[in-house]
Amino acid sequence: MTEQKTIEKLKLPNVFILLLIIMFSCALLIFINFFTIKILSASRAYVNGESLYSKGQKDGVRHLITYLYTQDEKQWDSFEEELKVPQGDGAARIGLLSNADTAVIKNGFRAGRNNEKDLDDLIWLFKNFKSVPFLAKAINEWKMGDDLINQLSAIGNEVHKTVSSSNLELKDRLKLHLQISDLSERLTINERNFLSTLGDGTRKIKDYLIYTNIFFILIIISSVSTYYSMMVYRLVNSKIEVEVKNENLLIANKELDKFVYSASHDLRSPITSLKGLIEIAQLEDDLGQIKTYLNLMYQSLSKQDQFISDIIDYSKNKRKEVIIEPVSLKNIIDEAIAQHQHIKNANKINIDKEILVDHIQSDNLRLKITINNLLSNAIKYADESKDEMCIWIKTFSLGEFYRIEISDNGIGIKDEFQSHVFEMFFVTNNNKGSGLGLYIVKEAIENINGTISVNSESAVGSKFTVTIPKRYEA
């Protein structure tokens, strides 16, 4: 019983907490990975768009310079066509900043030759993360690039107007060539900065993703390991509990076999005795002898009545749950004394009470069983040869426990019997007890986490000490 209670105290908290942690960590990990991948995908789309932006700008510059020297209108048309790529991206940027209609923004990106499947990601990243440092810096580089594209467009228009109206001298062509080249170099630097900024941002996002994954994976691994350990722990404890219960069942079966055998014998014995006494009394004519037989019959019935009472107490103790409630020790002791006045010599015994503790929190039924049995034994085993027969009852507090002491100056218990008095059906005198009383007392006290001990000396007396914890723990 003690081992089983220890196992119950060691049980771990509800494992559903760990399962919730694992589920929450997995869900959060999936959520973070999804949005991180979405961000990286959108960043890749911007990098791809920048390459198209850069190619359009460079091809446009090449066609413009060719047009400057050849005056071939096809080269001018190609310049305008290629410049629509960065101009379309610029229009999309302006539309995003001004919260324009999504269709307008997408048309701008389409003009920039971005893949149709990337358009939603491009818009989503810009709208939701435009204030993030790395993207804000990239957007600023994008704006600077658009300003340079506008300047390139203006120079292109100037070239086209000049070329269309008159022939340019070589020095004027070279001057315009240098302006175009300068703008192209500045755009190249701007485009590199844009790519570098996006690259640094995506690398940071990748690092954060790795750290986040490691963090949550460690949480999941530790939670799963703890959950597994708890399951193993509980399985081991369950096995121990089963073994303890099996052992208790074996003990209970042995006690039951012994109980059934002894009970059937003890219940039949008075009946057999009564039948014999009745047969003898029927043949007897002497009234005095008949009274003697009747007295013997009464003793047999009293013994059977006591045995049945002990069986009822045994059943109550085994069957009823422990109920902790306010209990008056004084009332229980007074009731027990009143109930035992009919026992032989009870009225001749001096009972001294010292109630230092009265009201306690405990199990009323089991305390009644205990005090009734101990007082009954003290009266039954009184020493009639002594001038004064005495019983002393004392209740007091000692540390974290209450103690009840019932002492007497009766016939006492021999040394060789003292270690067996709490065993089932153990008796020192077949005529005075069933052998169940002290066994029931021990079981009752242990049910409320208490203890009972005996100190006795033959022909001197006995002292039973009951110890009850002030705080009951189921």
Answer for the pair 434, 307: CB distance below 8 angstroms, yes or no.
yes
d(CA 391, CA 394): 10
d(CA 242, CA 236): 10
Burial of residue 471 (CB within 10 Å: 0-12, 13-18, 19+) is exposed
Task: Give residues with Cβ within 8 angstroms of 322, minimum separation 6.
Answer: 363, 366, 447, 448, 472, 474
The region, left, alpha or beta by phi > 0 then psi within -120 to 50, assigned to residue 208 is alpha
String of DSSP letters for 311-371: HHHHHHHHHSPP--EEEEHHHHHHHHHHHTTTSTTGGGSEEEEEES--EEEE-HHHHHHHH
As a whole number, the mean pLDDT across the chain is 83
Structural tokens at position 419: 């270690």
Going by the DSSP 8-state scheme, the letter that residue 118 receives in this structure is G
Query: Which carries the bigger pLDDT value, residue 88 or residue 219?
Result: 88
Burial of residue 178 (CB within 10 Å: 0-12, 13-18, 19+) is exposed
Task: Judge whether residue 131 has pLDDT over 80.
Answer: yes
d(CA 260, CA 370): 23
d(CA 123, CA 7): 61
How many Å separate Cα 125 from the centre of its chain? 41
For 266-293, the pLDDT digits (tens) are 556 667 767 776 877 777 777 888 778 6
Task: Give residues with Cβ within 8 angstroms of 310, minimum separation 6.
Answer: 434, 436, 437, 440
Answer for the pair 367, 329: CB distance below 8 angstroms, yes or no.
yes
Answer for the pair 377, 439: CB distance below 8 angstroms, yes or no.
no
Task: Judge whether residue 7 has pLDDT over 70.
Answer: no
d(CA 164, CA 168): 10
Answer for the pair 466, 404: CB distance below 8 angstroms, yes or no.
yes
Query: For 157-163, what is the mean pLDDT?
Result: 86
Q: Identify which of 153, 142, 176 has the alpha carbon closest to the alpha carbon of residue 54.
A: 142
Q: Do the strands 461-469 and 401-408 form a parallel or antiparallel pair, or are they unpaired?
A: antiparallel
Query: For 334-341, what is the mean pLDDT?
Result: 86
Question: Within a 13 Å sphere around the CA of 352, how many CA atoms are in the beta-carbon half?
Answer: 9
Place of tokens 């005090």: 371
**What is the structure's pLDDT at 320?**
80
Query: What percent of the chain has pLDDT above 90?
Result: 30
pTM score of the predicted model: 0.48
**What is the structure's pLDDT at 10?**
40
For 343-388, the pLDDT digits (tens) are 777 888 999 999 999 999 998 988 988 998 899 889 888 888 898 9
Task: Judge whether residue 159 has pLDDT over 90.
Answer: no
**Other beta carbons less than 10 A from residue 15's beta carbon:** 13
Task: Judge whether residue 1 has pLDDT over 50.
Answer: no
Going by the DSSP 8-state scheme, the letter that residue 411 receives in this structure is S
Strand, helix or coil for residue 425: coil
